[in-house]
């Protein structure tokens, strides 16, 4: 029997989609992401040996790798069909190192969309693993490990145990901290505007805004000056001096790239960057369309290129002509220009098949999948359409020494807006200084009727806080990070580090985030420098293009970093030692200090550990307490949710007089036989979240994956374990011997 070829993809979702496009000579399996990585327990990089990385099989992937080895033993060739980016290239290289296959028969398959046409075309022209891309990924991994495993112990020693820092994440936090400081230092300045509500020979009434006084730009600093000007205009005629008519064309925006998709999904759908990428991954990997089977609905979602395949442009033009008419398509398909660093081998994010419009596939998609797919589909189709055309009119109106201006526009041709309108988040607050509304037909020299003068007070506004969308936009403009990293950067600084929190969709630095930034900035100017970080991204691009050596690039970074690290260890202020507050300890008389712990600042005796006196800062005793609808069974006072060293718990609000407590359960029964406890969320001494039994120490059941109250469809276990990795949320059965696993249908935001 002839041997078959092994095809390895990253996700199990892709297996079913791709397998149906290939014949029986191919067997498709999933690697579930990386099978090898640097060890977690040690640096894993040897600077003395050209930064040689030490790769080990990831413990959680040992079973997956064993299965792949068995499949490879029965295969004659290996086809690496991982994602078409550097990370996918590196995954394929690691697989080729681990699997026992003839290196001459290791082929690289790359496709931008998971459709029958694209997959079969890729297999007709297989290539080889691009070692330059592997080197670029390896350089990034080594750099990040050198920074993370060097700075984290420093922060543990100088600031607070459990902290960490990252090469790119620290710059992102710095941007948020700098913006917050700008806001705090901002002093608002008062100014006024003046608007005239006017009537002409024909309706409607309209509003004109003061622009000039005595031939100079109008500037009204306060109410006194504004009221005086209003008084001077009593009885003055308002006369139309000039009327200017014109045309304004509004062009469509390019199809999405990763960053713009994350921004728009955040603005229009309220998605986090991580959620956007999770849902996009599902749409890319394959959706079961009933009789048509599983098919990828969008092209690859990690891209910085706006290039579109000619075939896709032709499909879009055909749809537009059939539904809207020929006047909606330009004579030739539009061409959009990508940024200089974009990988033009990739395409923009677009629907794989324009014929799959959102309405026709809606019944096969979840609510989130449909919302994101509609965004991608409409944006792409609109990008291939004619501009919207507006008729504009502007009138300058004289009133004594003052010049007022009114302007308006009317949509003449819808163009691309018939399909899609881009959202605007970063517009300045609406002040109505230059309103555009309906305008009557005006004639030069026409005298107008003054209906009312409307003075309005304003204050200059501080720069807005970043949202996820606006931060991604700035990171992209500054050249920090790459399409595949934005979601993980934001997830790390918000969810994992506690340096930033969300406040009504805006990003606000925590006190801890500001402290860490302030401590790192003077000692690590390059790591905290926006321009240097962007230059490093350019260097990684150059490695991928074969223009730089990865070892030399890492060495150029590491040598000055090593000097900075030694200086910081010697001279950085020790936050943990604290600052004297000018008060004596009530128990031993030694000075009290303000110190920092895992849960913020507190007051403690400087003689610790000989004296263990400590207290909360004023006003923070119960800052994190959350009310419940329960009453204490001991004293009858309200019970509250508190945040302790090892996680949340419910306690009596009468503490310390009443010390009644109980755990916060997840509503899932402990699976241990005979145990009547419930699962609760806890935190280890190192700050890692895990899930244990409320009956501890009587029951010591422990789970490191988040339990979800969904029964296993294969073995009937009462709940599944959920884990997020590489932009995907995976649920698997926790019962020993059951191998059920699938991607979560509803991703975690």
Q: In the predicted model, what is the mean pLDDT of residues 208-225?
A: 96
Reply yes or no on whether the pLDDT at 218 is more than 80.
yes
Dihedral sign for Cα atoms in the order 407, 411, 412, 415 = positive
pTM comes to 0.74
Pick from 517, 540, 571: which residue ends a domain? 571
The CATH number covering residue 27 comes to 3.40.50.140
Reply yes or no on whether the pLDDT at 472 is more than 60.
yes
Give me the percent of the chain exceeding a pLDDT of 70.
92
The answer to whether residues 689 and 652 belong to one domain is yes
Q: pLDDT value at position 625?
A: 65
Pick from 396, 430, 459: which residue ends a domain? 459
Reply yes or no on whether the pLDDT at 271 is more than 80.
yes
Q: Is 191 a catalytic residue?
A: no
708 by Cβ neighbours in 10 Å (0-12 / 13-18 / 19+) ranks as: middle
Crossing angle of the two packed helices 530-544 and 131-158, in degrees rounded to 10: 150
Concatenated DSSP letters of 143-172: HHHHHHHHHHHHHHHHT-TT----TTHHHH
Distances (CA, A) of 509 to 174, 180, 489, 492, 514: 9, 7, 15, 13, 6
Whether 628 maps to a domain, the answer reads no
The CATH number covering residue 400 comes to 2.70.20.10
Look at the chain and report how many structural domains it folds into: 6
**Rounded distance between C-alpha atoms, residue 9 and residue 109, angstroms:** 10
Reply yes or no on whether the pLDDT at 582 is more than 90.
no
Which is higher by pLDDT, 105 or 708? 105
Pick from 383, 416, 444: which residue ends a domain? 383
Q: pLDDT value at position 742?
A: 78
Which is higher by pLDDT, 504 or 151? 151
Confidence of residue 427 (pLDDT cuts 50, 70, 90): very low
Whether 110 maps to a domain, the answer reads yes
Q: pLDDT value at position 554?
A: 96
The answer to whether residues 124 and 159 belong to one domain is no
Whether 64 maps to a domain, the answer reads yes
Whether 304 maps to a domain, the answer reads yes
The answer to whether residues 377 and 400 belong to one domain is no
Query: Of 51-65, 140-154, 479-493, 619-633, which range is least confident?
Result: 619-633
Query: Of 241-250, 320-329, 381-390, 642-651, which range is least confident?
Result: 642-651
Reply yes or no on whether the pLDDT at 682 is more than 80.
no
**Rounded distance between C-alpha atoms, residue 749 and residue 173, angstroms:** 21
The answer to whether residues 332 and 368 belong to one domain is yes
Full domain range(s) for residue 422: 190-251+388-459
The CATH number covering residue 306 comes to 1.10.290.10
Q: In the predicted model, what is the mean pLDDT of residues 546-556?
A: 96
Whether 636 maps to a domain, the answer reads no
The answer to whether residues 10 and 42 belong to one domain is yes
528 in helix, strand or coil?
coil
pLDDT (tens digit, 9 = 90+) per residue, 363-419? 999 999 999 999 999 999 999 999 999 999 999 999 999 999 999 999 999 999 999
The answer to whether residues 508 and 562 belong to one domain is yes
The answer to whether residues 272 and 354 belong to one domain is yes
Q: In the predicted model, what is the mean pLDDT of residues 548-567?
A: 95
Q: pLDDT value at position 643?
A: 65
The answer to whether residues 237 and 286 belong to one domain is no
Query: Of 48-57, 175-184, 252-261, 701-710, which range is least confident?
Result: 701-710
Reply yes or no on whether the pLDDT at 743 is more than 70.
no
**Which one is catalytic: 79, 107, 300, 373?**
300
pLDDT (tens digit, 9 = 90+) per residue, 287-298? 988 888 888 999
Which is higher by pLDDT, 70 or 600? 70
The answer to whether residues 120 and 198 belong to one domain is no
The answer to whether residues 110 and 44 belong to one domain is yes
Copy the structure tokens of residue 306. 């706006």
Confidence of residue 726 (pLDDT cuts 50, 70, 90): very low
The answer to whether residues 430 and 355 belong to one domain is no
Whether 9 maps to a domain, the answer reads yes
Whether 47 maps to a domain, the answer reads yes
The answer to whether residues 484 and 399 belong to one domain is no
Whether 473 maps to a domain, the answer reads yes
**Rounded distance between C-alpha atoms, residue 646 and residue 190, angstroms:** 50
Reply yes or no on whether the pLDDT at 446 is more than 50.
yes
């Amino acid at each position: 029997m002839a041997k078959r070829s092994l095809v390895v993809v990253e996700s199990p979702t892709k297996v079913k989609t791709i397998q149906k496009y290939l014949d029986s000579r191919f067997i498709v399996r999933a690697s579930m992401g990386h099978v090898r990585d640097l060890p977690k327990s040690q640096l894993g990089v040897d600077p003395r040996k050209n930064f040689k990385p030490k790769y080990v099989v990831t413990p959680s992937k040992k079973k997956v790798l064993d299965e792949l080895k068995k499949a490879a033993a029965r295969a004659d060739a290996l086809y690496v069909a991982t994602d078409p980016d550097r990370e996918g290239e590196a995954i394929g290289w690691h697989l080729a190192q681990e699997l026992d296959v003839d290196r001459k028969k290791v082929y690289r398959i790359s496709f931008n969309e998971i459709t029958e046409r694209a997959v079969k075309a890729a297999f007709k022209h297989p290539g080889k693993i691009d070692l330059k891309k592997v080197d670029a990924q390896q350089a990034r991994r080594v750099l990040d490990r050198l920074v993370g495993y060097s700075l984290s112990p420093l922060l543990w020693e100088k600031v607070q145990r459990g902290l960490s820092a990252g090469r790119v994440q620290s710059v992102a936090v710095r941007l948020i901290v700098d913006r917050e400081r700008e806001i705090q230092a901002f002093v608002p300045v008062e100014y006024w505007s003046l608007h005239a509500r006017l009537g002409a020979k024909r309706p409607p009434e309209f509003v004109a805004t003061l622009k000039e006084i005595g031939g100079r730009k109008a500037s009204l600093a306060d109410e006194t000056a504004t009221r005086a000007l209003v008084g001077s205009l009593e009885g003055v005629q308002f006369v139309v001096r000039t009327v200017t008519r014109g045309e304004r064309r509004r062009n469509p925006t390019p199809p999405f790239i990763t960053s713009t998709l994350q921004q728009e999904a955040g603005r229009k759908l309220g998605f986090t960057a991580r959620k956007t990428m999770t849902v996009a991954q599902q749409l890319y990997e394959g959706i079961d369309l009933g009789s048509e089977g599983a098919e990828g609905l969008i092209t690859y979602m990690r891209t910085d290129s706006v290039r579109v395949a000619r075939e896709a442009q032709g499909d879009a033009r055909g749809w537009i002509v059939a539904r809207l008419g020929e006047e909606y398509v330009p004579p030739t398909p539009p061409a959009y220009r990508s940024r200089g660093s974009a990988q033009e081998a990739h395409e923009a994010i677009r629907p794989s098949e324009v014929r799959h419009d959102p309405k026709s596939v809606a019944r096969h998609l979840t609510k989130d999948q449909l919302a994101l797919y509609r965004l991608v589909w409409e944006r792409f189709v609109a990008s291939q359409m004619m501009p919207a055309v507006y008729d504009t009119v502007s009138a300058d109106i004289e009133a004594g020494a003052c010049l007022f201006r009114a302007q308006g526009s009317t949509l003449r041709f819808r163009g691309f807006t018939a399909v899609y309108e881009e959202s605007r988040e970063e517009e300045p607050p609406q002040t109505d200084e230059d309103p555009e509304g309906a305008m009557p037909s005006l004639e030069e020299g026409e005298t107008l009727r003054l209906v009312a003068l409307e003075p309005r007070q304003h204050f200059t506004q501080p720069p807005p806080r970043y949202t996820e969308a606006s931060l991604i936009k700035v990171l992209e403009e500054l050249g920090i990070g790459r399409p595949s990293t934005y979601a993980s950067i934001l997830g790390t600084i918000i969810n994992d580090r506690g340096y930033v929190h969300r406040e009504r969709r805006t990003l606000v630095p925590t006190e801890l985030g500001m402290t860490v930034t302030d401590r790192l900035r003077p000692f690590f100017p390059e790591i905290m420098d926006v321009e240097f970080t962007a230059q490093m991204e350019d260097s990684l691009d150059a490695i991928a293009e074969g223009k730089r050596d990865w070892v030399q690039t890492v060495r150029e970074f590491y040598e000055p970093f090593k000097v900075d690290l030694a200086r910081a260890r010697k001279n950085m202020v020790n936050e943990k030692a604290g600052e004297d507050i000018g008060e004596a300890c009530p128990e031993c008389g030694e000075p009290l200090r303000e110190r920092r712990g895992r849960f913020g600042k507190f007051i403690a005796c400087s003689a610790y550990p000989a004296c263990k006196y400590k207290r909360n800062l004023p006003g923070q005793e119960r800052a994190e307490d959350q009310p419940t609808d329960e009453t204490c069974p001991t004293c009858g006072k309200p019970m509250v949710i508190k945040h302790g060293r090892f996680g949340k718990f419910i306690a009596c609000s009468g503490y310390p007089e009443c010390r009644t407590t109980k755990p916060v359960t997840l509503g899932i029964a402990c699976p241990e036989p005979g145990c009547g406890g419930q699962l609760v969320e806890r935190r280890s001494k190192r700050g890692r979240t895990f899930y244990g039994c409320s009956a501890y120490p009587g029951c010591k059941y422990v789970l490191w994956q988040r339990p979800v109250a969904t029964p296993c469809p294969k073995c009937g276990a009462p709940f599944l374990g959920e884990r997020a990795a590489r932009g995907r949320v995976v649920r698997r059965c926790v019962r020993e011997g059951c191998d059920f696993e699938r991607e979560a249908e509803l991703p975690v935001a």
